[in-house]
């Protein structure tokens, strides 16, 4: 066969054999499919419509060892007709699978040979496509990293380079960074992590999403006409998490941090820094959840900007240490935390703690006696409240650093 696009390879083979033909990528996601020839089953129809099949079916197919095949063979498919699977390879690299449906229980030598020939042609084409994609991806990642450089001149050059790539039009004027942080236990799983982030990028349709990744951390630049919706960000995070759990460590999914939206390429560095700090919050503070959004982290947004060593040094607040020494069961510290979390509202704090108002007043009075602070003083309240937040984030840093 002469060099051509993937669809023409599929269509020509289908017409020659009078069979439905499809080519998937190595993850069993549809790349190209011919028209039906009366041999389609429910799985074929679903695959064409959804561009993929259910994960359980993918696992069943891959469990048959097809990723190691070097020649066509028949695959049993749960709940569907068997398939002829011809591995799509080039220079030994697995690039996908070509499929024919086994409608009559046999494939002739001619059909097997034709499928293998088409798979080899597709492999050469997909390898060229992959090399071009990797070259383009590397160039784009280099520009993205320069776009968030600490050097103003480097950032200015990156803006020019990014515009020269013509990846998005002038109407796309909202830029938002989503940071993805691999948990420490899962950090070595580089291939699974990057593949999962790429899967998340595919969730962005109609707009542009660019990514840069290393072994354990990645970030996605969302380039859109309007600020990204919560639903879109949630969908991207969910796809990354689901993919990583299937490919990597299902017990250590990544965490995410969303920076603020900016309207100038020169300000992307601000969204980037916010996204990294938000991801750090999601990593360190379980109560925040796996996706932290900058602008919704309260006082932690101030504290996270401190270098870890400075934060750990500042965390021992004498007034809180005095409470801790007297309060062996953490009753007073819990009370003070709840008091501040409810903005000093006595009734809501008492309801939250499930105590009588009189009991709450007694505890607050005891706190004032131990600390020498007045809860009627704005400065004292600020010092105690920030001190409590410092304790939380410092404890999280110590746990994370194993100190």
pTM (predicted TM-score): 0.70
Helix, strand or coil for residue 88?
strand
Q: What is the Cα 105 distance to its own chain's centre? A: 43
What is the pLDDT, as a whole number, of residue 238? Answer: 94
Two structure tokens written together for 319: 């007034």
Separation between Cα atoms, residue 297 and residue 394, nearest integer Å: 16
Identify the structural domains of the chain with CATH numbers, from first to last: 6-125 (3.30.450.40), 173-298 (3.30.70.270), 308-401 (1.10.10.2840)
CA-CA distance, 76 to 57, in Å (whole number)?
A: 11
Q: Encoding tokens for residue 80? A: 């569907």
| Contact in structure between 387 and 308 (CB atoms under 8 Å) | no
Please write down the HEC assignment for all residues of 204-224.
CCCCEEEEEECCCEEEEEEEE
The structure tokens listed for 100 are 């024919």
Q: What's the CA gap between 85 and 67, in Å, rounded?
A: 10
pLDDT tens over the chain, length 403 residues: 334 589 999 999 999 999 999 999 998 889 999 999 988 888 888 888 887 788 888 888 999 999 999 999 999 888 889 999 999 999 989 999 999 998 777 789 999 999 999 999 999 999 988 888 778 888 888 999 999 999 999 999 999 998 888 888 777 789 999 999 988 654 446 677 888 898 899 888 878 889 998 878 999 999 999 999 999 999 999 999 988 887 766 778 899 999 999 999 999 999 999 999 999 999 888 788 999 999 999 888 888 888 888 878 877 889 998 998 888 788 999 999 899 989 899 999 999 999 999 999 999 999 999 999 999 999 999 999 988 988 888 888 887 765 4
Q: Whose CA is closest to 221, among 294, 270, 185, 187? A: 270
Structure confidence at residue 3 (pLDDT): 41
pLDDT of residue 4: 56
Name every residue whose Cβ is closer than 8 Å to that of residue 31 and which is 6 or more positions away in sequence: 6, 23, 24, 25, 96
DSSP 278-307: HHHHHHH-GGG-SEEETTSSTTHHHHTTS-
């Amino acid at each position: 066969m002469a060099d051509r696009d993937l669809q023409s390879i599929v269509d020509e083979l289908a017409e020659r054999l009078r069979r439905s033909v499809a080519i998937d990528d190595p993850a069993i996601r549809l790349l190209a499919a011919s028209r039906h020839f009366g041999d389609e089953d429910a799985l074929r129809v679903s695959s064409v419509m959804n561009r993929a099949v259910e994960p359980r079916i993918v696992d069943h197919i891959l469990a048959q060892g097809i990723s190691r095949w070097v020649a066509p063979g028949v695959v049993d498919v749960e709940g569907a007709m068997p398939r002829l699977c011809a591995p799509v390879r080039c220079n030994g690299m697995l690039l996908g699978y070509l499929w024919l449906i086994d409608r009559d229980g046999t494939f002739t030598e001619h059909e097997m040979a034709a499928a293998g020939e088409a798979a080899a042609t597709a492999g050469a084409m997909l390898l060229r496509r992959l090399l071009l994609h990797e070259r383009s991806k590397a160039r784009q990642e280099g520009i993205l990293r320069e776009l968030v450089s600490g050097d103003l001149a480097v950032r200015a050059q990156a803006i020019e380079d990014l515009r020269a790539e013509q990846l998005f039009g002038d109407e796309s004027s909202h830029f938002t960074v989503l940071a993805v942080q691999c948990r420490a236990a899962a950090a070595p799983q580089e291939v699974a992590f990057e593949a999962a982030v790429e899967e998340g990028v595919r969730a962005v349709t109609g707009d542009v999403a660019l990514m840069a990744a290393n072994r354990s951390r990645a970030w996605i630049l969302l380039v859109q006409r309007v600020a990204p919706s919560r639903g879109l960000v949630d969908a991207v995070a969910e796809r990354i998490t689901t993919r990583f759990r299937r490919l990597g460590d299902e017990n250590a999914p990544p965490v995410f941090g969303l920076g603020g939206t900016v309207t100038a390429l020169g300000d992307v560095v601000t969204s980037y820094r916010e996204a990294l700090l938000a991801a750090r919050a999601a990593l360190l503070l379980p109560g925040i959840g796996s996706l932290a959004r900058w602008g919704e982290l309260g006082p932690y947004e101030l504290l996270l900007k401190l270098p870890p060593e400075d934060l750990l040094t500042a965390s021992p607040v004498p007034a809180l240490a005095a409470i801790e020494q007297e309060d062996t069961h953490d009753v007073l510290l819990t009370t003070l935390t709840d008091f501040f979390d409810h903005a000093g509202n006595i009734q809501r704090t008492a309801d939250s703690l499930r105590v009588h108002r009189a009991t709450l007043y007694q505890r607050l009075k005891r706190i004032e006696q131990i600390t020498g602070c007045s809860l009627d003083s704005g400065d004292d309240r600020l010092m105690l409240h920030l001190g409590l937040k410092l304790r939380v984030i410092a404890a999280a840093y110590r746990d994370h650093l194993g100190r």
